[in-house]
Amino acid sequence: MLLPFFSFSQITISNGTLTFPKTEYNQVADQLLNIVNDYDVAVNVTIRSHNKDFYVDDSIVEVKANSRSAVTVHFKPTHNITYNSEIVVVSATKTGSIAVDVRGVGQYSAYYSSTFDLSEEDLKKELKTIVSSGYKNLGYTGARDAMYGSIDNKSGKVECVYTGRQATFNSRSGANSNSFNCEHTWPQSLFNKNEPERADIHHLFPTDVNSNSRRGSYPFGVVSSASWSEGGSKQGGGKFEPRDAHKGDCARAMFYFAIRYQNYSSFLNSQENILRTWATAHPPTQLSIDRNNAIFSYQKNRNPFTDYPEFMERITSISSNSSASTLHAVVSSVPAITISSLSTAAQFDYNLVLTNTGNQRELFTGFGNGDANVTFPKTAFEIAPGESHTLKVSITPSKTAINDEIQLTSSDVTLKIPVMITGLSAIKEISRSKMVVSLYPEVLRVSGVAGSALTLYDSKGKIVYFNEIQSDFTEIETSSLASGLYFVEAIGGSLVPQVQKVLIP
């Protein structure tokens, strides 16, 4: 990021926290963020969100000179949880970055209200309670009657989920005469055909007899060498791969069954990863949603993973004890502090925002950098998950370039942020023969005068500086000098005596 240098101005925001009202799943709530630009030129700012459920329409915003821009921040929750995250406003100036705390609450339907803010084993247990409560067992005969006659009957036709073959019937006898039967996604041999497992329509689907037989009790997986295939489904190598149209529904049926009942014979263990992939790649279609609603009208329970696929993001494992993986992650608002075109020697503070995007508290106790012109507080600080810490980096411009690196360490995280600052640009540079006079803010540098006697006169001829110079250059501080015309005289050494005029503002 290349940051031009401006003086005596800054980028600010109207408030450091945006609090959104309770918002239903996939609905949108808005809040305004006012970004104020005190500079005399337009400034671009980049807005970065650390949670996809908070977002802006355009991530790069131009804020006109001496003006403000109102940016709409959207909140579109995909979970029924309490949200606490950060948005970072990064300006292309010496101001650096500004952290904005964003908070909100997402809501699901009343059926799942008791899952609010739950995850892992707690969520699994609560989902089991929900889908078990009020459940109405139709029995295997009643389940098939409901499937063939209504739930999976579309304008008189029933379709095989594995092959796509359609047939016209609406009863068990019609299914038999058309070579259709009922597929148990979780093989019934693994639970001894027990009720209500055998009759739970959330894992039952109509299939033609041959494809059902081909699936048998094989686990689901990717089939690389098929011994049988039809309609996109394949069997081979001890695995069965359903066609793409059924992959997502198949996965969600397996997850439902394991939550509602149990992981019989550890059948899900070897399949969970690929089923998660399928569930993500093939989200619920309208047909899937309609089927879930229809099953609810009969069984009085729902498949949570069809209603809210995002539940899987809060459950690390369905097949075994579920606990969130430890994640240590802290990100810097910029990959490097890079500033050019300096025109004043005044110290300035650059705000570096550090955001904890992991799930563990991070205590930073190790600090380091090498350049004395770059300083920052070297006291311990802690960042909670979803929060930010603003590190104020003080930079004193130098005539030579600054090439430094800020290092911050906790027990599990190390951050290295390069600091690259160009040297001060001379306000004016005058050269004659070998002598070069460069006027910087607060400093007058004279080079090419080794072995000379150097004198500085004011406009009235008064000597205000004298020195015998042995090095390649010398510097005269101008902060104590009045504004006006001065004369630089170098005599001796290899130089022909010479005088140069310089106007100090």
Mean pLDDT throughout 416-432? 76
Mean pLDDT, the chain, whole residue set: 92
Question: Residue 477: what pLDDT?
Answer: 85
Phi, psi of 400 (to 5 degrees): -100, 160
Instruction: Judge contact between 495 and 449, C-beta under 8 A.
Output: yes
Confidence of residue 7 (pLDDT cuts 50, 70, 90): very low
pLDDT of 175 reads 98
**Has residue 1 got a pLDDT over 50?**
no
Rounded to an integer, the average pLDDT of 6-31 is: 87
Q: What is the predicted pLDDT for the residue at 222?
A: 98
Give the pLDDT mean for 236-253: 98
Whether 1-106 and 324-425 share one fold: the answer is yes
Task: Give dist(CA 352, CA 372) in Å, integer.
Answer: 18
Of 230-239, 349-358, 419-428, the poorest mean pLDDT is in 419-428
Q: Does the structure show a pLDDT above 50 at 290?
A: yes
CA distances from 319 to 127, 197, 310 (A): 15, 17, 17
How does strand 180-184 pair with strand 54-56? unpaired
Indicate if the pLDDT at residue 59 is higher than 50.
Answer: yes
- Domain locations in the chain as residue ranges: 1-106, 120-314, 324-425, 428-504
CA pair distance 285, 20, nearest whole angstrom: 30
pLDDT at 277: 98
Beta bridge partners of 475: 445
What pLDDT score was predicted for residue 406? 97
Look up residue 4 and give its two tokens: 């031009």
Q: Exposed e or buried b for every residue in 404-426, given b needs 16+ CB within 10 A?
A: bbbebebeebebebebebbebbb
Check residue 496 and give its pLDDT: 57
Check whether 470 has a pLDDT greater than 80.
no
What confidence tier does 399 reach under pLDDT thresholds 50, 70, 90? confident
* Structure confidence at residue 455 (pLDDT): 86
Mean pLDDT of 197-204: 98
Q: Is 455 exposed, middle or buried (0-12, 13-18, 19+ CB in 10 A)?
A: middle
Which of the residue ranges 31-45, 171-185, 353-367, 466-480 would you say has the lowest mean pLDDT?
Answer: 466-480
Given a cut of 70, whether residue 493 has pLDDT beyond it is no
pLDDT of residue 433: 58
Task: Quick: pLDDT tens for 331-349.
Answer: 999 999 988 767 667 788 9
- To which CATH superfamily is domain 1-106 assigned? Immunoglobulins (2.60.40.10)
CATH number for domain 324-425, candidates 2.40.50.100, 2.60.40.10, 3.30.1490.190, 2.40.170.20: 2.60.40.10
How far is C-alpha 70 from the geometric centre of its chain's CA atoms?
23
Residue range 224-236: average pLDDT? 97
- Dist. CA 46–CA 197, nearest whole Å: 53
User: What's the DSSP call for residue 96?
Assistant: B
- State the average pLDDT over residues 408-413: 97
pLDDT confidence tier of residue 419, bands split at 50, 70 and 90: very high
* Averaged pLDDT for residues 275-297: 98
Q: Which CATH class is domain 428-504?
A: mainly beta
* Single-letter amino acid, residue 494: S
**pLDDT on residue 335:** 93
Side-chain half-sphere exposure of 407, counting CA atoms within 13 A: 9
**Do 470 and 451 form a contact (C-beta atoms < 8 A)?**
yes
When pLDDT is averaged across residues 384-399 and rounded to a whole number, the result is 93
Give per-residue pLDDT as tens, 117-142: 999 999 999 999 999 999 999 999 99
| 424, pLDDT greater than 90 | no
Greatest alpha-carbon pair distance for the chain in Å reads 119
Closest CA to 205 of 233, 230, 186: 186
Beta bridge partners of 70: 34
d(CA 93, CA 503): 30
Nearest to 160 by CA among 232, 222, 240: 232
